[in-house]
């Protein structure tokens, strides 16, 4: 298929620059795979579409303050984006200006420094922080890596974290989960809806545009995930009872379907890396529904939801969302696909 097949017109003013508060007051577009009708709701009304036999699967990854500003030993300014912890104190990173950062260079930040110990083939660097307590200092001085289409750094960076974020490691938020409040999660559980968690640390690939004409030629970045025995058991029990497995976000979809695809359609407890690229046609083995945000034109995330519900249906839903002035991207409104 062609990348251009996943294009749509999006007015720039519909790109949300800040979140709706309370979180669950954002709008919700409900899309059914067996119907051409759309429903316009508020996010807190998702409980009307879930039964006590259903299971919500959420990604508990937490965004790390991965952007650091510092200087070379010469005094020249540098910007570092930590993208993956290799081991304690050692990180894979993007460094700007990259062409001028040589192996062996020392980079100095407020309260700590690091050494460039390796250049990797993908133009990233391996950085080594040797000071005691470097990891805690990074959390203290680092900035949240906000997506490039959000023009102003949020006054409260916690608004770019889900209320259940726990496992540190993402450089971008699993944004579908941003709409949940602790109260809404409690209400859902009180009504009998089950909840479980997986972890996928969102990498830079979430910002990576598709630059090839044919989507089959696009290469995804690899991301680390963990699925526990407890979550596998809950998903299995849900299926046995005839309930729906609802993935909260494309990161959850990719994790569940990647593991199932590797194991003849069966889900197992596992940790590892995945670079799965889901686009039409794709056989889904685990997921029965998706809660997600509205994605960029020509993006891999738009291709994923198109694989789930059909390209034309999704593009029609997006045209409806544009017509009705829904808010797009990370701080935008939500879409529930059943």
CATH of the domain at 116: 2.40.10.240
Q: Are residues 260 and 328 in the same domain?
A: yes
For β-strands 194-200 and 223-227, DSSP reports them as antiparallel
Q: Are residues 201 and 331 in the same domain?
A: yes
pLDDT at 123: 86
In a domain, 148, yes or no: no
Q: Are residues 218 and 130 in the same domain?
A: no
Domain count, the chain: 2
Residues 6+ apart with CB under 8 A from 245: 54, 55, 57, 235, 238, 239, 256, 286, 287, 288, 289
Q: Are residues 297 and 325 in the same domain?
A: yes
pLDDT at 99: 78
CA distances from 185 to 71, 226, 236 (A): 44, 22, 21
In a domain, 146, yes or no: no
Q: Are residues 262 and 226 in the same domain?
A: yes
In a domain, 332, yes or no: yes
Domain, as residue range, for 73: 67-141
Q: Are residues 80 and 218 in the same domain?
A: no
The CATH number linked to 293 is 3.40.1780.10
In a domain, 149, yes or no: no
pLDDT at 207: 66
Nearest-CA neighbor of 67 among 105, 97, 94?
94
Q: Are residues 42 and 159 in the same domain?
A: yes
In a domain, 147, yes or no: no
- Domain final residue pick, 94, 118, 141: 141
Q: How far apart are CA 212 and CA 282, in angstroms?
A: 20
Is 8 buried (19+), middle (13-18) or exposed (0-12) by CB count in 10 A? middle
- pLDDT (tens, 9 = 90+) of the chain, 338 residues, equals 999 999 999 999 999 999 999 999 999 999 999 999 999 999 999 999 999 999 999 999 999 999 999 999 899 999 999 998 898 899 999 999 987 888 999 999 988 999 999 999 888 999 999 889 999 999 999 999 988 899 998 889 999 999 999 999 999 999 999 999 999 999 999 999 999 999 999 997 766 789 999 999 999 989 999 999 999 999 999 999 999 999 999 999 999 999 999 999 999 999 999 999 999 999 999 999 999 999 999 999 999 999 999 999 999 999 999 999 999 999 999 999 99
In a domain, 150, yes or no: no
pLDDT at 294: 98
If you search the block for the tokens 């508020």, which residue do you land on? 42
- Domain final residue pick, 106, 141, 176: 141
Q: Are residues 202 and 102 in the same domain?
A: no
Is 129 buried (19+), middle (13-18) or exposed (0-12) by CB count in 10 A? buried
Q: Are residues 97 and 167 in the same domain?
A: no
Q: Are residues 108 and 80 in the same domain?
A: yes
């Amino acid at each position: 298929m062609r990348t251009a097949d996943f294009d749509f017109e999006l007015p720039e003013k519909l790109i949300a620059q800040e979140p709706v508060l309370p979180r669950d007051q954002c709008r919700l577009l409900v899309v059914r795979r067996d119907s051409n009708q759309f429903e316009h709701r508020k996010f807190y009304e998702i409980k009307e579409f879930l039964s006590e036999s259903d299971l919500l699967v959420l990604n508990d990854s937490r965004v790390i303050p991965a952007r650091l500003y510092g200087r070379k030993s010469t005094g020249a300014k540098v910007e570092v984006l930590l993208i993956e912890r290799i081991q304690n104190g050692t990180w894979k990173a993007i460094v700007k200006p990259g062409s001028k950062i040589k192996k062996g260079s020392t980079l100095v930040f407020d309260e700590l420094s690091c050494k460039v110990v390796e250049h990797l083939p993908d133009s990233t660097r391996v950085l080594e922080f040797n000071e005691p307590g470097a990891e805690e200092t990074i959390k203290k001085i680092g900035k949240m890596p906000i997506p490039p289409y959000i023009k102003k750094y949020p006054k409260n960076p916690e608004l770019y974290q889900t209320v259940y974020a726990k496992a540190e490691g993402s450089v971008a938020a699993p944004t579908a989960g941003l709409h949940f409040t602790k109260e809404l999660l409690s209400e859902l559980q009180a009504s009998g809806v089950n909840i479980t968690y997986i972890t996928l640390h969102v990498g830079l690939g979430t910002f990576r545009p598709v630059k090839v004409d044919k989507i089959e030629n696009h290469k995804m970045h690899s991301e680390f995930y963990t699925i526990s025995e407890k979550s596998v058991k809950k998903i299995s029990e849900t299926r046995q009872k005839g309930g729906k497995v609802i993935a909260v976000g494309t990161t959850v979809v990719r994790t569940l379907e990647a593991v199932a695809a590797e194991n003849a359609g069966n889900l197992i407890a596992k940790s590892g890396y995945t670079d799965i690229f889901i686009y039409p046609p794709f056989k889904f083995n685990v997921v029965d529904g998706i809660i997600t945000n509205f994605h960029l034109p020509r993006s891999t995330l738009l291709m994923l939801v198109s694989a789930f519900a059909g390209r034309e249906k999704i593009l029609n839903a997006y045209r409806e969302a544009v017509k009705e002035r829904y808010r797009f991207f990370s701080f935008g409104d939500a879409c529930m696909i059943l």
